[in-house]
């Protein structure tokens, strides 16, 4: 499974880039606004930090404007993935971009049939929002499983990018279901490191070592 950070804060990305755990980055208009910077500037910097896919989202809702914005975003760096919403115009733009060799992340997916449409439109990534599905009392992880089954049935190359990840349990279930990618805020990665038995075991080892009076090196 590939790990993408869901953020537009470059200092945060730099902090985690050196771990070797981050394969890419996803952004959206809300995250760009939160960064307080111009989209072209922040996307260019992220692409310099992370060599993997960096999703940059169009804000237009009409096809021709999506194409104009998406082509502009794709010119920022070779690893930019143009992000479009799962609407009729968005999927039409996805098909055009895919024909031009521009990678596309289709976002705001909430049903398996939407995911099927995205795959047929040539999407590089499909982003089902598991946390938001959970929020309305449904099972976000079942969405991942259904998409996985459909894609496997027909050999679609579109990668399943589990989005709206809220906690490590989402990560565990997405990995078990075979999602290709998960995108999450940095706090979720921090939580994945933690286990009380790890902390307890390390404390015991260090206590015993201190008693021995030895040093290494």
Structure-token pair, residue 12: 């945060």
Structure-token pair, residue 200: 């307890």
Among candidate residues 14, 38, 75, 83, the one labeled active-site is 83
Can you tell me which residue has the tokens 């990560």? 171
- In contact, 128 and 140? CB cutoff 8 Å: yes
From the list 190, 115, 196, the residue with the least C-alpha distance to 148 is 115
Q: How big is the chain by its Cα radius of gyration, in Å?
A: 20
From the list 57, 4, 64, 48, the residue with the least C-alpha distance to 27 is 57
Tell me the backbone φ, ψ of residue 37, rounded to 5 degrees: -125, 165
Instruction: Spell out the residues 6+ positions from residue 205 whose beta carbon is closer than 8 angstroms to its own.
Output: none
Q: Tell me if residue 148 is catalytic.
A: no
SS3 139: coil
Can you tell me which residue has the tokens 């996805």? 94
Task: Name the residues annotated as catalytic.
Answer: 83
């Amino acid at each position: 499974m590939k790990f993408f950070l869901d953020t537009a804060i470059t200092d945060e990305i730099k902090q985690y880039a050196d771990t070797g755990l981050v394969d890419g980055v996803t952004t959206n208009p809300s995250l760009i606004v939160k960064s307080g910077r111009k989209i072209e500037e922040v996307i260019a910097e992220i692409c310099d930090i992370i060599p993997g896919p960096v999703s940059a989202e169009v804000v237009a809702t009409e096809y021709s404007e999506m194409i104009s914005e998406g082509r502009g975003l794709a010119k920022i760096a070779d690893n930019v993935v143009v992000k479009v919403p799962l609407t009729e115009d968005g999927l039409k733009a996805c098909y055009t971009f895919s024909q031009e060799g521009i990678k596309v992340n289709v976002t705001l997916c909430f049903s398996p049939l939407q995911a099927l449409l995205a795959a047929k439109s040539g999407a590089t990534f499909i982003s089902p929002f598991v946390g938001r599905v959970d929020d309305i009392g449904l099972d976000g992880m079942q969405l991942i499983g259904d998409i996985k089954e459909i894609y496997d049935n027909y050999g679609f190359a579109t990668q399943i990018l589990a989005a709206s990840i809220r906690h490590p349990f989402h990560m565990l279930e997405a990995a078990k279901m075979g999602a290709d990618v998960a995108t999450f805020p940095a706090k979720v990665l921090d939580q994945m490191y933690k286990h009380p038995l790890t902390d307890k075991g390390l404390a015991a080892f260090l206590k015993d070592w201190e008693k021995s009076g030895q040093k290494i090196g």
